[in-house]
Chains A and B, each alone.
Chain A
Amino acid sequence: MTAVERHNLAEKTFKEGPYFYQGSPETMSRIERAIEIDPTYCDAVRELSVAYLKRGIPHKWKTEMDKAVICNPQIWQPFRGYNYLWFYRDYKKAIADFNASDTLTPNFIDAPQGHSVDYWRGIAYLGLNDYENSIYFFDKYINKEIEDSGEDWVELTAFLYRGIAYYENNNFEEALKNFDKQIHYAKQTADGKYYKALILQQQDKNEKALEVLNEAIIDFNDEFFNERPYVETLRQIYIQDLEQLKETIELKINK
């Protein structure tokens, strides 16, 4: 069999059988068979890791995912960074993998799981409370997106997270600009409005803060809040956070 024929057969084998559950003996055996046919068919190599990732079995995920990175670092190293970021909250390992993609694919910005590595680095640095680097990478991502496609194409959580980075770094003016931008495009967003209300009450604009917070609570109850599949998102807000802030603001108003 030629290399192309091997690749095609491995791909065919890999793609047959979406009828079985992820992680089932049938699925795992089918993936193993595809790898056996063509060990350079890296999609299958990586797929073998996924069930372990989602089910909380770290050592088995790591063994298989590392093989995928060796198989095709250009594709799977930034993707491993994405996994480190969300499933393990290992921000340093995530950043190292995202940084490696700069060298592996020069003049090309990788986008594991649909977002630029710059966007992911902005989040990872926020996880480390490194606001300077977080804002740097969100700026890089947002400016590139505006240049390429326009501001309305920017992922709205980039404005939210850049706002949070400014907020936690006590730059309320820049934080507000970002939350307002997110609110402008999203219309309904419990997160942007919650942080805006936080700033307004810290500036003693309590009536306005309460108004914005009430909108945030409506948005939250309408399920317009930032969350992720599988794992809790970074700086995830809960209804209790909103209720607690409301209580604080009302106390200030009724003083």
Chain B
Amino acid sequence: MKNKKIVKAVLYGFSTILLVAVGYVCYMYFFIYNKHEVDKKKYPHTVEYINPDKAFLNTGFKVCNEKFIVQYYNPERARYSKGKNGLRQFILSNYKNKNYSDSGYLNFRFIINCNGEAGRYIIHENDLNLNPKKFNKDLVGQLFNLTTKLKKWNPNFTQNEFRDSYMYISYRIENGEIIEILP
């Protein structure tokens, strides 16, 4: 009899806790996470999303978790294996200004996967006022080739694991000369 009462009390207790937990999850789901309508038409993905079908050098490139790709600067940064100065040295010593007259920002965005491999590149071309423009094709091709030769990266380390991360390299170019390499 006494045992029955204890079991009953435990069951009641357990049911109450379960009810509170379910209530909390429902509250979070309906009133916090889904309170505001998401504009899926304007924002179908995160703003940094790179469509694999439209990207360069995506064939054979694998990310470790398509659903969790962080930013290069998240807790332990993804970096080029020879550091920023190693990256700069490689680019500047190999780049040749073939009488280009272009000025602007030529940006390459890509993914560094959790193994430190780079792939899935897209290109943004803007003038010095940050308006879209087209650079000389040869210049773009040359910097694309050099940028994609930066093979070994130290992957981002977040939440106790190496992670895939979005990365970008921006070349500030004035009259065909590389003035800055960012970030």
A residues sitting closer than 8 Å to B (CB atoms) are 13, 16-17, 19, 21, 23-26, 28-30, 32-33, 51-52, 54-62, 87-90, 229-232, 236, 238, 240-241
Interface contact B32-A19, CB-CB below 8 Å: yes
B residues sitting closer than 8 Å to A (CB atoms) are 32-33, 35-40, 42-48, 71, 73, 83-85, 105, 107, 109, 124, 126, 128-132, 166, 168-170, 172, 179-180, 182-183
Task: List B contacts of A24 (CB < 8 A).
Answer: 43, 46
Q: How far is the CA of A28 from the CA of B105 in the complex (A)?
A: 25
Q: How far is the CA of A242 from the CA of B45 in the complex (A)?
A: 44
Q: How far is the CA of A51 from the CA of B84 in the complex (A)?
A: 23
Task: List B contacts of A232 (CB < 8 A).
Answer: 84, 182-183
Nearest neighbor of A237 in chain B, beta-carbon distance: B85
Interface contact A56-B45, CB-CB below 8 Å: no
Interface contact A28-B168, CB-CB below 8 Å: no
Q: List 18 A-B contacts (CB under 8 A).
A: A16-B36, A17-B35, A23-B48, A24-B43, A24-B46, A25-B38, A25-B39, A25-B43, A28-B42, A28-B43, A29-B37, A29-B42, A32-B39, A55-B71, A56-B169, A56-B183, A232-B183, A238-B84
Interface contact B45-A25, CB-CB below 8 Å: yes
Interface contact B182-A88, CB-CB below 8 Å: yes
Q: How far is the CA of A17 from the CA of B35 in the complex (A)?
A: 9
Known contacts A52-B47, A55-B109, A238-B85: does B168 contact A26 (CB below 8 Å)?
no
Task: List B contacts of A26 (CB < 8 A).
Answer: 33, 36, 38
Q: How far is the CA of A54 from the CA of B45 in the complex (A)?
A: 16
Query: 6 shortest A-B CB distances, which residue pairs?
Result: A56-B168, A25-B43, A62-B130, A231-B183, A23-B47, A55-B48
Nearest neighbor of B44 in chain A, beta-carbon distance: A25
Q: How far is the CA of A25 from the CA of B35 in the complex (A)?
A: 13
Known contacts A16-B32, A21-B46: does B182 contact A89 (CB below 8 Å)?
yes
Task: Identify which of B38, B48, B129 contacts A29 (C-beta below 8 A).
Answer: B38
Nearest CB on A from B52, distance (A):
17
Nearest CB on A from B55, distance (A):
15
Interface contact B47-A59, CB-CB below 8 Å: no
Interface contact B183-A28, CB-CB below 8 Å: no
Task: Identify which of B32, B84, B107, B179 contacts A56 (C-beta below 8 A).
Answer: B107
Nearest CB on A from B175, distance (A):
16
Task: List A contacts of B39 (CB < 8 A).
Answer: 25, 28-29, 32
Given contacts A16-B36, A56-B168, A231-B182, 5 further A-B contacts (CB under 8 A): A23-B47, A54-B71, A58-B105, A61-B130, A88-B130
